[in-house]
Structure 1
Amino acid sequence: MAETVKKHIGRNIARIREMRGMKQETLAELLGVSQQKVSLFENAEELEDVKLEPIAKALEISVEALKNFSEDAFFNIISNTFNTNDNGIAILRTEIYQPTFNPIDKLLESYEENKKLYERLLESEKEKSRLIEELINKITKA
């Protein structure tokens, strides 16, 4: 027989759902149940593991994390959620890297820098041509 949870599991479900910015309707769609059923889950003091597994999967956390929920630990769970592979082995999935800079701004900065370098190179080439012309003129007059 499935083990039942001693804590008020429904409050944990509701709190995690709210912290994820998810509505009951959205969770209901993910679970394939009605919104009223989700409300019943959230009001239940205990739920069997068989019912917790799809709920935990929909909330993208482990069943253990759902059972032992604390708000302090929640942020660690969200940033390091667990997935399982075909063998049932837990795999740590880290958050996608989000750069702290705007890549387009960096691209524009690089473009401007390249433009300035090109202009300096062009000026240098013009100066070189002018000096060569002066040298040629001096040689031909001498």
Structure 2
Amino acid sequence: MSNTNHPHHGKNFKRMREILGVKQETVALELGEDWDQKKVSRLEEKETIPDDLMDQIAKILNVPADAIKNFDEEKVVNIITNTFHDNSTNQGFNNHCTLNFNPIEKLVEVYDALLKEKDEKAALLERLLNEKK
């Protein structure tokens, strides 16, 4: 169960990074020369991440910093579960939810867009690294 009074920034960062499919090595490259995979791993163990560093991480993951700071996997699962499996929100209405889109297709579409963006960033990083050589 999550602790709503004191979110663990490092764990939230790690989970968000994993969900987005971003590797620690990629984050390290984006953060700069002083960073490597091990340092990112240690960062994920910290309860609090300074705001300036959190802003950099959020920019790398392309999400708002508050989304990382306040990430609650349990809430995300509850929202998805209640949205697609629980008819209790339809009280007094037709209990058959009619969607104008397939939620799975929408998730795949978003995932594909994230993968494309990740590939573009990787290509950019590779190009930048080759320029430095």
What's the TM-score, normalizing by structure 1?
0.46
TM-score, structure 2 normalization: 0.48
Structure ranking higher on relative contact order (CA contacts 8 Å, 6+ apart): 2
As a proportion of its length, which structure holds more strand?
Answer: 1
Structure of greater Rg: 1
